[in-house]
Structure 1
Amino acid sequence: MKSAYELAMERLAKSDPAAAPISAEKKARLGEIDRVYQGKLAEREIFLKQQLGTALGAQKFDEADQIRKQMVSERARLEEEREEEKERVRRGK
């Protein structure tokens, strides 16, 4: 006999096919996407931190603020791209 939880999960799976379990192949692809975007993010942060250090060393504080803002926007952009790509994989496209 199934528990109420198991019955509810079965009904949920029928009503929302996107909530179905993810295959091993898709899990591997999602992991690969995470690794790629972690690399991209690290690359941008290293580059921008070097620029920030240079700007601060030259006492260009306005430029340093711009670089800090760019770091935040680059992180947000890359995280959004990563989530969009992962969602495409989840949907099977």
Structure 2
Amino acid sequence: MKSAYELAMERLAKSEPTSAPLTAEQKARLAEIDRVYKGKLAEREIFLRQHLDQALADQKMEEVDKIKQQIANERARIEEEREAEKDRVRKGA
């Protein structure tokens, strides 16, 4: 007897167009993309956190808020770029 989870997964597999399993090359490329974008994100955060620390030391609270927002925006942008790149690899482009 199948569990409710297994039945739901079967229905999901039937309703979605099937995609081919990833090749070893695609998996390696996806891992490389994760590594590269993790580095980009770390680089931007280090840079912006230095500015944030300076603004905090100078007690420039408006600038602190702007930098915090910029950190969030940069993180979202880089994550979006990474996912777009990974989708291209998954689609075989």
* Matching of residues 1-93 of structure 1 within 5 Å: 12=13, 16-18=17-19, 20-93=20-93
Partner amino acid, structure 2, of 1:32: E
Corresponding residue SS for 1:51:
helix
Amino acid at match of 2:68: R
Q: Which runs of 5+ in 2 are unaligned?
A: 1-5
5+ long unaligned stretches in structure 1 = none
Q: What is the RMSD computed on CA atoms of the aligned residues?
A: 1.9
> Where is the helix percentage greater, Structure 1 or Structure 2?
1
Shift of 1:66: 0.2
State the 1:25 CA deviation. 0.3
Q: How many pairs were matched up?
A: 84
The 1-side partners of 2:31 and 2:17 are apart by 23
TM normalised by structure 1 equals: 0.82
Q: TM-score, normalised by structure 2?
A: 0.82
